């Protein structure tokens, strides 16, 4: 006789431990899976850390069998400020892990659907994060390689479970790969960049750790002009920008923090991070006191071996798009990247939506190739509403 399943809300510390341990159990034979830091995930569900709780809620469940074995987990969440900006209010679901069992998965999906419907949501987006899009966003469907830091990795069978339930492909996110060589600058990009360089009002440089306050301000300005116009993305405050940088500070490399300016005002950025999952994989999911010691030990031990960086986010303010700014940024970065002292020999561009053809075209021009594909799905809670894919926009 087949097991029946029951849902248990995550409330206690024991529940939280089970929430994290389930992934360890499921992926114990998956060599490419890297256990995420529990603190990184728990910060999503901490109202003292995550500002989205000011106008939203989140809930988590465990799925257990009759004999109390945990076989699944999921979270659902919404933010009224973000959802009200959409044509139809949309909530999210994510942090889904489950055995390969249709009934088990559908029980988790249905719990999210019912809860979000009670909260007035018309669309369920997933699997996504209750936070910024640069973390825990999308379902991996192609390129089952080790994940970048704070990016999702999952079993191939998840795709069938999502689509059989009725989730539809809202947009795809691509991870591009390219080696750092002098051969990736085509003449068309160089020509546009030279035209920008000939104008003394433009300047491009990396910013140092001593300039953190200015970095936060510049990031906020460009992000709000260049990215907050995308569907489902809200503007950020200077406090939020500083918090984002503070969380990243232990792993930031200043030569990966690039900004462009016009008359000394920020107009673009390209923020990259060292691929620190080479360190995280040694920490067993914990960055407690022992984990911090391990982190700094491995960071110094493998610092010279961290040969890969990944692009976290790229943006240009609308009034300076389609002028060759991206080429000028690439060429400025190349002057540093091609030096013998630059340690990173490989780059991955982590989050390129299929709704952004101009960025896809630029990366193709540079010789970058797609190595991973994630899908962000929409499930129409309101059956009368028309499903539409994410609108194509120009991010520069």
- pLDDT, one tens digit per residue, over 172-193 is 999 999 888 766 677 877 888 8
The pLDDT of residue 347 = 87
377-390: pLDDT as tens digits: 999 999 999 999 99
CA gap 307, 292 in Å, rounded:
22
Report residue 284's pLDDT band, with 50, 70 and 90 as the boundaries.
Answer: low
DSSP state of 136: S
Mean per-residue pLDDT, 318-341: 84
Closest CA to 211 of 249, 267, 239, 247: 249
Q: Is residue 287's pLDDT more than 60?
A: no
Q: Do domains 5-165 and 178-373 have the same CATH topology?
A: yes
Non-local CB neighbours of 233 within 8 Å, separated by 6+ positions? 133, 227
> Which tops the pLDDT comparison, 138 or 2?
138
Residue 45 near residue 58 (C-beta atoms within 8 A)? yes
Domain ranges of the chain: 5-165, 178-373
Phi, psi of 202 (to 5 degrees): -100, 145
Domain 178-373: which CATH number of 3.30.420.40, 2.30.40.10, 3.40.630.30, 3.40.50.620: 3.40.630.30
Residue 44 near residue 79 (C-beta atoms within 8 A)? no
CA gap 396, 393 in Å, rounded:
9
349-387: pLDDT as tens digits: 888 899 888 888 888 888 889 999 999 999 999 999 999
Beta-ladder partners of 376? 171
Residue 34 near residue 55 (C-beta atoms within 8 A)? no
Report residue 395's pLDDT band, with 50, 70 and 90 as the boundaries.
Answer: very low
Domain spanning 5-165: which CATH class is it, in words? alpha beta
What is the chain's mean pLDDT, rounded?
Answer: 86
Q: Is residue 290's pLDDT more than 80?
A: no
| The token pair that represents 176 in the structure block | 């591009």
Q: Is residue 263's pLDDT more than 50?
A: yes
| The token pair that represents 366 in the structure block | 């540079």
Q: Is residue 89's pLDDT more than 50?
A: yes
Residue 354 near residue 360 (C-beta atoms within 8 A)? yes
Q: Is residue 225's pLDDT more than 90?
A: no
């Amino acid at each position: 006789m087949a097991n029946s399943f029951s849902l248990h809300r995550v409330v206690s510390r024991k529940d939280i431990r089970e929430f994290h341990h389930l992934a360890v159990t499921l992926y114990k034979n998956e060599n490419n899976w890297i256990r995420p830091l529990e603190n990184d995930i728990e910060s999503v569900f901490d109202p003292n850390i995550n500002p989205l709780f000011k106008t939203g809620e989140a809930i988590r469940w465990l799925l257990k069998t009759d004999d109390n074995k945990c076989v699944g987990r999921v979270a659902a969440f919404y933010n009224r400020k973000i959802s009200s900006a959409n044509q139809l209010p949309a909530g999210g679901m994510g942090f889904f892990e489950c055995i390969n069992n249709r009934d088990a998965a559908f029980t988790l999906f249905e719990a999210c659907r019912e809860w979000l419907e009670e909260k007035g949501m018309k669309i369920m987006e997933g699997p996504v994060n209750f936070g910024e899009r640069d973390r825990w966003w999308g379902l991996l469907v192609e390129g089952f390689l080790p994940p970048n830091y704070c990016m999702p990795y999952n079993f191939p069978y998840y795709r069938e479970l999502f689509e059989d339930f009725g989730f539809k492909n809202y947009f795809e996110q691509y991870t591009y790969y390219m080696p750092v060589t002098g051969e990736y600058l085509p003449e068309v990009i160089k020509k546009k960049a030279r035209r920008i360089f000939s104008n003394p009002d433009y300047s491009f440089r990396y910013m140092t750790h001593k300039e953190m306050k200015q970095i936060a301000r510049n990031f906020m300005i460009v992000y709000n002009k260049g990215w907050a116009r995308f569907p489902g993305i809200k503007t950020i405050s200077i406090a939020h920008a500083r918090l984002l940088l503070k969380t990243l500070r232990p792993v930031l490399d200043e030569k990966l923090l690039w900004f462009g300016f016009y008359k000394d005002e920020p107009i673009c950025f390209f923020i990259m991070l060292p691929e620190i999952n080479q360190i995280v994989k040694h920490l067993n999911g914990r960055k407690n006191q022992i984990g911090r010691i391990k982190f700094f030990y491995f960071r110094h031990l493998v610092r010279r071996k961290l040969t890969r960086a990944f692009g976290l986010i790229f943006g240009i303010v609308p009034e300076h798009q389609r002028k060759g700014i991206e080429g000028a940024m690439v060429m400025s970065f190349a002057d540093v990247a091609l030096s013998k002292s630059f340690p990173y020999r490989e780059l991955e561009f982590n989050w390129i939506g299929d709704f952004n053809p101009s960025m896809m075209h630029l990366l193709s021009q540079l010789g970058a190739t797609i190595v991973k594909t994630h899908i962000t799905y929409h499930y129409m809670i309101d059956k009368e509403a028309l499903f539409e894919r994410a609108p194509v926009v120009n991010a520069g």
